[in-house]
Amino acid sequence: MNKITEYSTTIFESIKHITEKGNEYWYARELMQVLEYTRWGNFEKVIEKAKLACELSENIIIDHFADVSKMVAIGSNAKRKQDDYKLSRYACYLIVQNADSRKKVVAFGQTYFAVQTRKQEITEEYFNSLDENKKRLITRKQTIDKNKTLYKTAKDSGVQNYGKFTNYCYQGLYGGENAKQISKRKGLTDKDEILDYMGSEELADNLFRIVQTEAKLKKENINNEHDANMTHYKVGKEVRETIKRLGGTLPENLPTPEKSITQIRLDELKKIENK
């Protein structure tokens, strides 16, 4: 990679990690390699400058630069400490601002993290300003898009019975309830799509489950239907446990909206037509 045109957002997105709470982060050691630094000592100097900038901007350093140093084996049963940090997007932005701008990848990173950081701020601000129906429309669209990629990944992982595959996730996330039981509890017919009768919070729970399942199928190179189904179940169950730990409302206890997504879309179209 020696031309700026050969860089793309994938070089930074590919090393991005997601916590069980849905928060994104990067490891300093991985970012160091992408930014074409070969020695940790040199890159650590950049990190220290970024931490200073963080402090001067009145942000809490540990919130953006979490120390995750660990002991690593170096042979003959010996170990040594390997320094590393778990970085927020803002920390990455400060790092690329203080890195060697003569490197084309650094110049690209400066633009990428600046744009993405601002985009995230605008997106969150915009989303939080919306009413419940508009939040549902946006999150439902996201689940549709992500489900498409999940089912493609599931197919590559050996899944043939997609209904069964979906039921495993629901049973994990909904404490044993399958799709039919969820539909019955919500008072839906066989023709109704369950996801169309979820509020924005319940949709977000399922969106997180979808994204994490796809990532796990790829990461663990699942290649048979049984393991793919169990992966879907385990991810659903882990999302459920996360909701419990955070003191949130379990999905089966969230209210079912009176209007479906289809009805909301029709209402929005009528508003446009009547303008």
Surface-to-core class of residue 202, CB atoms within 10 Å of its CB (0-12 exposed, 13-18 middle, 19+ buried)? buried
| Full 3-state SS string of 13-46 | HCCCEECCCCCEEEEHHHHHHHCCCCCHHHHHHH
Determine the pLDDT at residue 273: 62
Query: Strand, coil or helix: what is 219?
Result: helix
Q: How far apart are the two ends of the chain, measured CA to CA in Å?
A: 52
Cα–Cα dist 43/40, whole Å: 5
Determine the pLDDT at residue 5: 39
Paired tokens of 251:
């999905």
CA torsion angle 40 44 45 46 (round to 10): 110
Determine the pLDDT at residue 272: 64
pTM of the full structure: 0.59
Going by C-beta distance under 8 Å and a sequence separation of 6 or more, which residues neighbour residue 246? 21
Cα–Cα dist 67/133, whole Å: 41
- Going by pLDDT thresholds of 50, 70 and 90, the confidence category of residue 9 is low
| Residue type present at position 248 | G
Does residue 205 register a pLDDT over 90?
yes
Determine the pLDDT at residue 127: 75
Average confidence (pLDDT) over 199-218: 92
Average confidence (pLDDT) over 146-174: 95
Mean pLDDT (the chain) is 88
- Going by pLDDT thresholds of 50, 70 and 90, the confidence category of residue 119 is low
Q: Are strands 78-82 and 70-75 parallel, antiparallel or unpaired?
A: antiparallel
Candidates 149, 75, 103; CA nearest to 7 is 103
Surface-to-core class of residue 252, CB atoms within 10 Å of its CB (0-12 exposed, 13-18 middle, 19+ buried)? middle
DSSP character at residue 252 = G
Q: How many CB atoms lie within 10 A of CB 8?
A: 11
Query: Strand, coil or helix: what is 133?
Result: helix
Q: Which range is least confidently modeled, 75-89, 185-199, 211-225?
A: 75-89
Going by C-beta distance under 8 Å and a sequence separation of 6 or more, which residues neighbour residue 249? 201, 243
Determine the pLDDT at residue 6: 47
Compute CA distances 201 → 228, 248, 256, whole Å: 26, 10, 11
Cα–Cα dist 53/98, whole Å: 9
Q: Break the chain into its structural domains and give their ranges.
A: 4-128, 130-273
- Per residue in 31-83, pLDDT (tens digit) is 999 999 999 999 999 999 999 988 887 788 998 999 998 888 777 777 888 89
